[in-house]
Chains A and B, each alone.
Chain A
Amino acid sequence: ETGVTQTPRHLVMGMTNKKSLKCEQHLGHNAMYWYKQSAKKPLELMFVYNFKEQTENNSVPSRFSPECPNSSHLFLHLHTLQPEDSALYLCASSPLETGRPTGELFFGEGSRLTVL
């Protein structure tokens, strides 16, 4: 079992659907992240949670709504998405060092999202 598990691995949704991506980590980390990976573009940080508190929101459209009920689980709720939102969504976690995340991220395998 990998340390960070993402479900579903693949998701196809219409522009009017509501769906959620789930991430679970078993590493005891306190920081969790959502990244977006589009073809031929660098990874884009979307959200960061530190001890369940959102600490970063990189100007992400409101059609993406994160939820972190505890330090082991992270969700990304999706509604009224656009075709350009099709991408691989990666969840990651990291330990803290003196209260600050280390740069070493542990990633899940991603959720491949296609918006029709």
Chain B
Amino acid sequence: AQKITQTQPGMFVQEKEAVTLDCTYDTSDQSYGLFWYKQPSSGEMIFLIYQGSYDEQNATEGRYSLNFQKARKSANLVISASQLGDSAMYFCAMREHWSNYQLIWGAGTKLIIKP
């Protein structure tokens, strides 16, 4: 079974609108971390935001926020006031407590911002 599921292979959003990218995860660990990365067409993966399983508040970084719903095992990325430069692939990833190095990655969502 997939541990990270991103159900939206692609999304089109109008510029300046908010967008939510879905991510659900599966783990039996109590301690884990969730990450979102952005990959523009240049290829470089860019870290966006991190949420720890024990963090009580949703993480925020500028226009990015993570809607963390632990009981539902979801960690959706919200981008407010989208910009043309937000067009990219977005990946959700998880690190379980037992793993020192292994990030488990989702298949990604391709986001296209329309002018």
Report A's interface with B, CB cutoff 8 A: 2, 31, 33, 40-43, 45, 48, 50, 55-56, 88, 90, 92, 100-101, 103-110, 112
Contacts and interface: CB of A to CB of B under 8 A. Distances in A.
B33 A103 contact: yes
Q: Lowest 6 A-B CB distances belong to which pairs?
A: A107-B45, A110-B43, A42-B105, A43-B105, A109-B44, A109-B43
A37 B43 CA distance: 10
Contact of A41 (B4, B37, B107): B107
B44 A105 contact: no
Interface of B: 4, 33, 35, 37, 42-47, 50, 91, 93, 95, 100-108
A103 B44 contact: no
B107 to A, nearest CB: 5
Contact of B101 (A33, A41, A104): A33
Nearest to B6: A42
A42 B95 contact: no
Contacts of B37: 105
A90 B45 contact: yes
A112 B50 CA distance: 28
Contacts of A33: 101
A43 B91 contact: yes
Contact of A101 (B47, B101, B106): B101
Given A41-B107, A42-B106, A2 B44 contact: yes
A107 B42 contact: no
A90 B43 contact: yes
A40 B107 contact: yes
A75 B47 CA distance: 23
A32 B37 CA distance: 17
Nearest to A105: B47
Nearest to B47: A104
B31 to A, nearest CB: 12
B56 to A, nearest CB: 19
A110 B50 CA distance: 23
Contacts of B42: 109
Nearest to A108: B44
Nearest to B4: A42
